[in-house]
Amino acid sequence: MNNPLYASPVACEQTLRALARYPERTAFSWPGGSITYQGTTDLIGRIQAVFMRLNFEPGTRVAFLTANRADAWCAGVAAQLSRLSITWLHPLGSLDDQLFQLEDSEAQMLVVDGVTFRDRGGELAARAVSLKTVFTLGPASYGVDLLTAVEAAGSVTARCFARPDDISTLNYTGGTTGKSKGALRTHRENSGAASAILADFEIPDRPSYLTVAPISHVAGTKVLPTLMRGGTVHMLKGFDPEAVFKTIERERINFTLFVPTMIYVMLDHPSLDRTDLSSLELLLYGASAMSPSRLVEGIERIGPVFSQLYGQTECYPVSVLRKAYHDPKTPEMFTSCGFPISACEVNVLDDNDQEVATGEAGEICVRAPHVMAEYWKRPEQTAETLKSGWLHTGDIARKDERGYMFILDRKKDMIVSGGFNIFPREVEDVLSQHADVAMVAVVGVPDDKWGEAVTAVVVAREGAKPNADELINLVKTKKGSAHAPKHIKFVTELPMTGVGKVDKKVLKAGFWTGRDRMVG
């Protein structure tokens, strides 16, 4: 099983190999600077020298709190080459969430972006008891400036000491349905992810990749594939639509990744029609479904470049809905999360882990080399999630006769109303097709008669005033009276998690206040 003859190269070794191939090309670019492939290799080597002197045990967790920065990404690679494992703190997370992750992961080292997160880093450094070493990228009143230490390290050749069984990453789940959990992977589970992405995603031959979403999460999974193709990673530190438009036009960006809410903002921005976006070949979106009407608008105004990705912290990627299936002539495909990638075996199973009939609802279950090894320090949840030799995603879906999957909802979000099982996603898909609806989320609200009443929380399109009865009747016509919302609430915005998903935990809490039972 662990015969080195059959081992794949670990991801940090793949990184060094990719960087060696095109030494003169630009690896990373950002407002005000850039670094070549050779320069990136040299920087990784010098950071590795600093880390190796600390003599941490293999597997020691190194936490990162940083905006999109090339030197931070290089520090992550340097840590993994040195047999340390990395855990990215969510840059939009609360202080309590970040402290929880530091303590739960037992991180002994913290690397902080000294520009964007200097103050928050100081709070974490003062309060996290497990930390032994704190580095800052740039000067701060605490810790050691890693960039200064790197200059003193001189020229050092990066070397890979990582072994397949060493812990590579500890990535924390979004926590949309409960406390965040650490999904642990050794280098063995991580080694094939970049190749899987290159095999099934329509990434351009020489990518010019714009990272706007945090590289701590899914946007970061496209950095190594970009370098393997000899491309350039253009980094912006946050989502500013004006900066996004200017960067795409100036740098001839051909590939990027957004969450749907970012795309909505871009579609509503006056600069869109004044910007040359003709270089774009691939716009990946994920984290949540896109409104079909807005997707059609995006295809018409930005181009036939949209592709939907699906996966989760426990296994990414799982499936992809390619550009060809984003055709306004077949809008029914817009609600699909795609076809399983070639590296994954995917099935839709019932509660007894038996395959359901085509078109029936069941849980998406996955087998793949890049499935997590376990939930860190959570053996019961690990056993429940990985039972019967499948990763149970918690997503309920139907599969058509070709194998395309259509997610109905999270298993935990199912509404039981008047004895009927209703998946909010089915109601959301109908409502989001209405021209006056910008965004919608559906939750179950306590009701003495129905048990739970289907309730839609709607954000109207700018300048529109949707009629509640009209929306209710639309669902009644398309899905039947059981699915029709009993209540419609209009709001100016929906609560979002740090990774761009609607935070249904927050939505539900407002409706369930003072009740004995809380769903989710």
* Res 516: pLDDT: 41
Instruction: Identify the band that residue 515 occupies on the pLDDT scale cut at 50, 70 and 90.
Output: very low
pLDDT-above-90 percentage for the chain: 70
User: Cβ(218)–Cβ(287) under 8 Å?
Assistant: yes
- Please state which CATH number belongs to domain 193-410: 3.40.50.12780
CATH topology of domain 4-15+32-188: Rossmann fold (3.40.50)
CATH topology of domain 416-512: GMP Synthetase; Chain A, domain 3 (3.30.300)
Q: Rounded to 5 degrees, what are φ and ψ at 83?
A: 75, 15
The DSSP result for 228-259, as a single string, is: HTT-EEEE-SS--HHHHHHHHHHHT--EEEE-
Delimit the CATH 3.40.50.12780 region(s) of the chain.
4-15+32-188, 193-410
pLDDT tens figures, 94-118: 898 899 999 999 999 999 999 999 9
Average pLDDT over residues 485-512: 81
Give the number of other CB atoms < 10 A from CB of residue 210: 25
> Among residues 85, 81, 70, which one has the least CA distance to residue 35?
70
Judge whether residue 411 has pLDDT over 90: no
SS3 209: strand
Cα dihedral: 102, 519, 416, 332 (round 10)? -40
Average pLDDT over residues 354-366: 95
* Res 518: pLDDT: 34
Instruction: Identify the band that residue 520 occupies on the pLDDT scale cut at 50, 70 and 90.
Output: very low
> Among residues 319, 67, 85, which one has the least CA distance to residue 182?
85
pLDDT tens figures, 237-256: 989 999 999 999 999 999 99
CA-angle at 313, arms to 311 and 318, nearest 5°: 20
* Res 478: pLDDT: 85
* Res 504: pLDDT: 80
* Res 91: pLDDT: 87
User: Cβ(11)–Cβ(217) under 8 Å?
Assistant: no
Q: What is the largest CA-CA distance in the chain?
A: 73
Delimit the CATH 3.30.300.30 region(s) of the chain.
416-512
pLDDT tens figures, 449-494: 777 789 999 999 888 888 999 999 999 888 888 789 998 999 998 8
Instruction: Identify the band that residue 161 occupies on the pLDDT scale cut at 50, 70 and 90.
Output: very high
Average confidence score pLDDT of the chain = 91
Region of poorest pLDDT, from 11-20, 27-36, 500-509: 500-509
Tokens of 343: 């590296």
d(CA 225, CA 219): 11
